Amino acid sequence: MFNKILIANRGEIAVRIIRACREMGIETVAVYSEADRDSLHTLLADEAICIGPAPSTESYLDMERIISATVAMKADAIHPGFGFLSENARFAELCAKCNIKFIGPSADIINKMGNKSEARKTMMEAGVPVVPGSKEPVYTAKEALVLAQSVGFPVMIKASSGGGGKGMRISRGAEDFEANFNQAQMESVKGFSDDTMYIEKYIEQPRHIEFQILADSYGNVVHLGERDCSIQRRHQKVLEESPSVAISDDLRRRMGETAVKAAKAVGYVNAGTIEFLLDKNKEFYFMEMNTRIQVEHPVTEAVTDMDLIKEQIKIAAGEALSFTQEDVVIRGHAIECRINAENPGKNFMPCPGRIINVHVPGGRGVRIDTAIYNDYKVPPNYDSMLLKLIVHDKDRESAIAKMRSALGELVIEGIETNLDFQYEILSNEAYQKGKIDTDFIPKYFPQYCK
């Protein structure tokens, strides 16, 4: 087992990893930018080291500075969390060259699955159902239009290196295709330094269902059930839950087996997520694989009673999985709400600033993952997520009631947040009946989609 782990991240996920390491008796090193000098993760870690100024390109995305910090602090391994360098194959390769364990899959696997067009091709060859579309990447609007016409409109234009809703556009006909393609490609170049695109048939009103998998170095792969991530704004997740009301036991078995098959097809090792689209006819299609821990991993932890961060660390240290698929039992229902520093009434404009008062709910089945505290100044330089509120109860109806109660008790004063918007979602009749898909927010909350 590792003696010391450096966490190459910030905010609530850094705090989450530090706490898991502390319980395992592993020392931790926090890295921080000048803007995060007083952040909670720097206070909780055993050691902390500044890696640069506020811009992430000069701190959390600077591979050489992070590697140098790891060597200087004599850490054995790096946990990248999510975002930043977590799916960067070059960083994983650099860690290997410096004899530092990267807590995640190898650079080769990140390359294969992180590039979405390459992942589609790999899954096709493995016999995993994928959304109809391009098998090879495309680079120009002209060649992409030919492919789109053969697939049939509407189509989804996607960046191969995209994520977080960036580099994605829906085109419903040839007349708007070129403009949408160029905009998506421009976003990809700006955000990911990659002009590689691909085309998929757009599945109308699907559910976004993802399966959590764990895989060790000895060929053992299990799935931990699904998460329903259909509540989205501009392809960015807002609220997640597990299990999905749309999934029967038989469908869960088939989708889970497919997720395991997909992971085995690439020799995957560590924690990962296989994302599917589920259409109205209960047909499912592979969409992409996330080669890292997910923001929404706590809902899976709640219904399986497993610690995914600890499992990641154990796998990276060379341990075999201590359980089989038959040992995985889904109990009850869990929901996670992402509380962000943003104003839904102003097109979800980020709202950094000083928090003057925080009160968090508690009680049985209520979990808070956060790095904020009274008088904490939310910097304008990073993602706007402040807190994840997770509840767990015996069934979905009880979990919804618990989440509404918890949201009603949560107080964050001094800045604008999306807390009230989350409460509106939980109070919506269609949501309560489980009638949700990826168009839920535009359909029921058009005032927030201008």
Which residues are catalytic, by number? 292
- Rounded Cα distance between 134 and 147, Å, is 7
Residue 354 pairs with which residues in a beta bridge? 377
Rounded-to-integer distance, Cα 189 and Cα 195, Å:
5
Distance CA 49, CA 51 (A): 6
**170 with 202: CB under 8 angstroms?**
yes
Residues 6+ apart with CB under 8 A from 129: 258, 283, 284, 285, 286
Residue type, 147: L
Identify the residue whose tokens are 């699907």.
Answer: 206
Distance CA(356)–CA(61), nearest Å, equals: 30
Report which secondary-structure segment, H or E, holds 442: helix 440-444
- Provide the phi-psi class of 305: left if phi over 0, else alpha when psi is between -120 and 50, else beta: left
DSSP 202: P
Closest listed residue to residue 6, CA positions, set 46, 54, 52: 46
> How far is residue 71 CA from its own chain's centroid?
28
What's the rounded Cα separation, in Å, for the pair 317 and 295? 23
Contact 133, 151 (CB under 8 A): yes
Report the first-to-last Cα separation within the chain, whole angstroms.
Answer: 51
DSSP-derived letter for residue 275 is: E
**Type and span of the H or E element at 287:** strand 284-290
